[in-house]
Amino acid sequence: MAELRLTPTSYIVLGLLDRWGEATPYDLKKAVSAGVGNLWTVQHAQLYSEPERLAAAGLMRERREAGGRRRRHYTLTAKGRRALERWQATPTGDLTELRDPGLLRLFFGADPAVIAPVQLEAHRARLAEYEALRAATPADVPAGPRLSLEAGIGHEREWVRFWSRLAGDAEGG
Amino acid sequence: MAELRLTPTSYIVLGLLDRWGEATPYDLKKAVSAGVGNLWTVQHAQLYSEPERLAAAGLMRERREAGGRRRRHYTLTAKGRRALERWQATPTGDLTELRDPGLLRLFFGADPAVIAPVQLEAHRARLAEYEALRAATPADVPAGPRLSLEAGIGHEREWVRFWSRLAGDAEGG
DNA sequence: ACCGTCATGTAATCGGTTACATGATTCT
DNA sequence: AGAATCATGTAACCGATTACATGACGGT
């Protein structure tokens, strides 16, 4: 029940549990890949340690299978749900950094003609993937994931614009 | 001279040193704030430990002041410069994740009417800052930083579009 | 039978963040 | 003279990544 800092990873676990009702770390792993993973990756090892931390703080309950694999199943406690809701209701002025590996190279003097084509292709592929995902999205998925996907698409388009111009310049020059 | 993994932080240090010629950790801190910091933040404590790591691997040389503050001054070695150049010349297909705290809340069901206005204002402020920066940029800054700033502006515009729509929907609905 | 790939987890390492400190300037 | 901020570092902690393992299952 000690104090602990809640990180984005914590809220990802809390948020997923809120939807799933009950889940093992492996369920969480699958859930991450299926959704949030596009927006915020979590290493699978953390899906074992983080619920443990959260359980120690009383935000989740652990049930251990008696036989066989002895899997751990987690569920939110009321306290956990409150923490999640408080977080959802608290707007942030925090902004992400770009933290883009290609752009970092560019910043430090890499030749755009070298960087741009590879980045361009990677972003195009991702954009296509997102758009396919959107096309395949059933009507009943909640607004959150849908909007996040829209955001992702918007930014991928922006990257494609950016790197296209650089790749084009190199080619044309 | 042991093997070590070079992280983005490493390349930031190498890249800055390459421009500055020689610098103390505090110089690096100022250099980060002035430029790359907008794209990729580095905690100041790491600007003490990272050069040490790099020096141990032979990528940089350390000179210690004899008296007074006994500051450490670092310069690139030939090996360090080679590492930097190799990195610059190696395109990546690695892509960043969005990792946006506001979007994460949205994903997990936060109310856009709560999140959007605050995010919108923050992004507008940042956009204005970037545009001011661009306006004030002297003609002789190298292409790297200039292009990075362009990328930053593009993405901030995208965020403003995104959150505007959500804030507007909430208001209009 | 063998191979690959899910499924499922633990352990160790390490980079990065936070906290702690203190002298020097500048401002009121 | 005191407050606040800048300058300059060190130390401790911890979350996250990487590496290491092993059993089950589907296919050739």
Question: Is it the case that residue A90 has pLDDT exceeding 90?
Answer: yes
Long-range (24+ apart) CB contacts under 8 A made by A24-32 are A24/A71, A24/A72, A24/A73, A24/A74, A25/A51, A25/A72, A25/A74, A26/A71
pLDDT band at A173 (very low <50, low <70, confident <90, very high): very low
Whether pTM > 0.85 for this model: the answer is yes
Nearest to A99 among B40, B89, B142 (CB): B40
3-state secondary structure of A70: coil
pLDDT at A49 over 60: yes
CA angle B42, B38, A118 (to 5 degrees): 95
Q: Alpha helix (H) ranges present in A3-111? A: 8-20, 25-34, 46-56, 78-88, 101-107
Q: Kindly report the number of other CB atoms within 10 A of residue A90's CB atom.
A: 12
Confidence class for position A164, pLDDT limits 50, 70, 90: very high
Q: Are B106 and B163 in contact (CB under 8 A)?
A: no
Cβ of A7 near strand D (under 7 Å)? The reply is yes
Residue B34: per-residue pLDDT: 86
| pLDDT tens by residue, chain B, 173 residues | 456 789 999 999 999 999 989 999 999 999 999 889 999 999 999 999 999 999 999 999 998 877 666 788 999 999 999 999 999 999 999 999 999 999 999 999 999 999 999 999 999 999 999 999 999 888 999 999 999 999 999 999 999 999 999 998 656 54
In the three-class reduction of DSSP (H, G, I as helix; E, B as strand; rest coil), residue A60 is classed as strand
- Contact criterion met (CB < 8 Å) for A101 and B38: no
Instruction: Answer yes or no: is B44 CB < 7 A from strand D.
Output: yes
Rounded Cα distance between B125 and A114, Å, is 33
Of B95, B98, B104, the CB nearest to A122: B95
Give the relative orientation of helices A46-56 and A25-34 as an angle to the nearest 10 degrees: 120
Best mutation target, A14, A87, A99, A100, to test chain B (most B CBs within 10 A): A100
Q: Return phi, psi of residue B96, to 5°.
A: -75, 155
A chain contacts of residue B12, beta-carbon cutoff 8 Å: 104, 108
How close does chain B come to A170, measured CA to CA in Å? 13
Structure confidence at residue A88 (pLDDT): 97
